[in-house]
Amino acid sequence: MKPLIIALALILAAPLPAYAGPRTPRDLRDLAHQQGIRIGTAVDVAALRGEADYRDRLNREFNHVTAENAMKWESVEPERGVYTWADADAVVHNAQRNRQRVRGHTLVWHNQLPAWLTSGVADGTIGADELREILRDHITTQVRRYKGKIRAWDVVNEVVEEDGSMRQSIWLTHLGPGYIADAFRWAHRADPHAKLYVNDFNLEWNAPKIETTLSLVKDLQARGVPIDGIGFQGHLGIQYDYPGDWANVMRRFADLGLEVAITELDVRMVMPVTEEKLATQADYYRRALTDCLSVEACQELTVWGFTDRHSWVPGWFAGEGSACLLDENLTPKPAYRALLGVRA
Ligand code: 9MR
């Protein structure tokens, strides 16, 4: 036999090395890269400015960010006509420097509205027509300012109640239900490339809320309103069952042609922390990522803060905490390692 043929025969006869599977990712950004998705976090601006370890970790771990509070109405227009963009700009600039995409949060909400607006509506000095103008100006001004810099906007946040009725916010009561379609149209006009989302909590499992939100989306689509996505906030707690039907719920929205995102994931627990609770928490984080990866339309998983040093949970739920992937010292918890171990 010719040497070439002998060599070929030897190569073909050699046992194939066993395929070891993808290597374990180094960090969340590496995981995001391997899975082809975006992994994001809410950003605390004070920490971004003032804490080098927070900043380093943020920029190492995440390829997507959401301003936790800096883009809310009370932050950007505390006095009528006086815009304060410094904090929102800081988040966007940091993201650009670190190759992170940005979710804008949020244009229309019933919370964190400036006092000039809520008191004006309450005492009747701001009537319905003027309120509509104010909302249009707000959306147009904010979306235009970040045109091309925001991948996706939470256009309306938490517009459905737990019982499946539409939330009786100042927007609904003064402008009527058409305010939602208007908000999407105004946002689209201001940045035609930004993806426009409805965002809500308990949408992972609450049937009346799910059904109403599905109807809302279908109604908007039937009227040609530019809606692109649905955000599941994902504020979970280990004292409650994991929302086991979540992937199916995601699929129901995806079947309408929408993008799906987990926009504010955290998993709180009743204090004190124990090894067992941390293991349960790790399982909830793992399942949330697994659910997202099982639905083609789910391409973003954002956590609502990545360290217990800056988490909204203890301030809102007495006796609860430890909801994030890293502890106060930025030490990874089992939940962090559980995410790195997820395979699609
Ligand atoms: O994390 C935010 C916290 O710092 C604010 O005090 C709070 C005020 O309402 O809002 C928190 O973020 C919320 C988000 O904007 C919308 N979904 C629920 C989040 C947790 O409350």
Choose the residue to mutate in 74, 236, 302, 304 for probing ligand 1, maximizing ligand atoms within 8 Å of C-beta: 304
β-strand partners of 320: 270
3-class DSSP state of 230: strand
β-bridge pairing 259-270 and 152-157 = unpaired
Band the pLDDT of 17: cuts 50, 70, 90. low
The mean pLDDT value for 319-323 works out to: 98
The mean pLDDT value for 127-143 works out to: 98
Residue 5: the pLDDT is 63
pLDDT (tens digit per residue) in 224-263? 999 999 999 999 999 999 999 999 999 999 999 999 999 9
pLDDT (tens digit per residue) in 36-52? 999 999 999 999 999 99
Judge whether residue 20 has pLDDT over 60: no
Judge whether residue 21 has pLDDT over 70: no
Segment among 12-16, 198-202, 307-311 with least mean pLDDT? 12-16
Distance 42 CA to ligand 1 centre (A): 10
The structure tokens listed for 263 are: 């926009």
Contact status, residue 321 vs residue 314, Cβ threshold 8 Å: yes
The structure tokens listed for 298 are: 């789910």
Nearest CA among 298, 308, 305 for reference residue 329: 308
| Cα distances (Å, whole numbers) of residue 191 to 64, 66, 188, 247, 266 | 19, 18, 5, 30, 30
| Cα distances (Å, whole numbers) of residue 237 to 93, 255, 264, 285, 313 | 33, 28, 13, 11, 10
Report the alpha-carbon distance of residue 61 to residue 128 in Å, rounded. 45
Distance 334 CA to ligand 1 centre (A): 25
The mean pLDDT value for 96-119 works out to: 98
Percent of the chain at pLDDT exceeding 90: 93
Percent of the chain at pLDDT exceeding 70: 94
Q: What is the pTM of this model?
A: 0.94
Residue 344: the pLDDT is 81
**Which of 77, 264, 320, 328 is an active site residue?**
264
pLDDT (tens digit per residue) in 275-299? 999 999 999 999 999 999 999 999 9
3-class DSSP state of 164: coil
The mean pLDDT value for 18-31 works out to: 84
Contact status, residue 181 vs residue 216, Cβ threshold 8 Å: no
Judge whether residue 77 has pLDDT over 80: yes
Distance 253 CA to ligand 1 centre (A): 24
Residue 8: the pLDDT is 57
Residue 22: the pLDDT is 75
Question: What are the structural domains of the chain?
Answer: 27-340 (3.20.20.80)
Residue 274: the pLDDT is 98
Residue 273: the pLDDT is 98
Q: Which atom of ligand 1 is the closest one to the Cα of 105?
A: 15
From the CA atom positions of the chain, what is the Rg in Å?
23
Residue 198: the pLDDT is 99
Q: Which atom of ligand 1 is the closest one to the Cα of 305?
A: 1
Nearest CA among 173, 204, 174, 188 for reference residue 266: 204
Any catalytic annotation for residue 130?
Answer: no
Distance 312 CA to ligand 1 centre (A): 7
Choose the residue to mutate in 45, 311, 312, 324 for probing ligand 1, maximizing ligand atoms within 8 Å of C-beta: 312
The mean pLDDT value for 54-78 works out to: 98
Distance 159 CA to ligand 1 centre (A): 15
Q: Which atom of ligand 1 is the closest one to the Cα of 111?
A: 9
- Ligand 1 pocket, CB under 6 A: 68-69, 111-112, 157, 201, 233, 264, 312
Q: Which atom of ligand 1 is the closest one to the Cα of 304?
A: 1
Residue 336: the pLDDT is 98
Residues in the chain: 344
pLDDT (tens digit per residue) in 187-233? 999 999 999 999 999 999 999 999 999 999 999 999 999 999 999 99
End-to-end CA distance of the chain: 46
Residue 282: the pLDDT is 99
The mean pLDDT value for 53-64 works out to: 98
Residue 18: the pLDDT is 59
CA dihedral over 126, 131, 137, 143, signed as positive or negative: positive
Which residue lies with its CA nearest to atom 3 of ligand 1? 312
